[in-house]
Homo-oligomer: A and B are copies of this chain.
Amino acid sequence: MDAQTVESLAGFLKALGEVNRLSLVCQLCDCSTPQNAMCLCECCSVDSSGVSRHLKVLSKENIVSVEKRGRERSYSLNRSYVASQLRVLAQKIEETGMEEES
């Protein structure tokens, strides 16, 4: 895993590794339809500007997608991308560098 990959993966994990952002992700996770920011506001103890910033971080890391809808924005979780990123890392971590055990 080269340096650049590590760096971008770190960015991804860092985006998820903040309580309120992870709460937002979990909230989105439980919704079957896209949500706007005002609605997401309620799940974490942050005002709307804070939520806006958190969502920006998440979308920059491709964790959520945004869709403009009139004066609102609909956010939805990029489920398969996020899950696959996590699984790739899980797999990498589980396999030994040199197959010398087992």
Spell out A's residues near B (CB within 8 Å): 1, 3, 6-7, 9-19, 21-23, 25-26, 29-32, 77, 79-80, 82-84, 86-87, 89-94, 96-98, 100-101
Contacts and interface: CB of A to CB of B under 8 A. Distances in A.
A16 B17 contact: yes
23 contacts: A3-B23, A6-B19, A6-B23, A7-B19, A9-B22, A10-B16, A10-B17, A10-B21, A13-B17, A14-B17, A25-B93, A26-B92, A29-B93, A29-B97, A30-B97, A31-B97, A32-B100, A77-B93, A79-B96, A82-B93, A83-B90, A83-B94, A86-B90
Number of chain copies forming the complex: 2
A13 B13 contact: yes
The 8 closest A-B pairs by CB, nearest first: A14-B17, A13-B17, A30-B97, A86-B90, A83-B90, A32-B100, A17-B17, A83-B94
Contacts of A22: 6, 9-10, 13
A93 B31 CA distance: 11
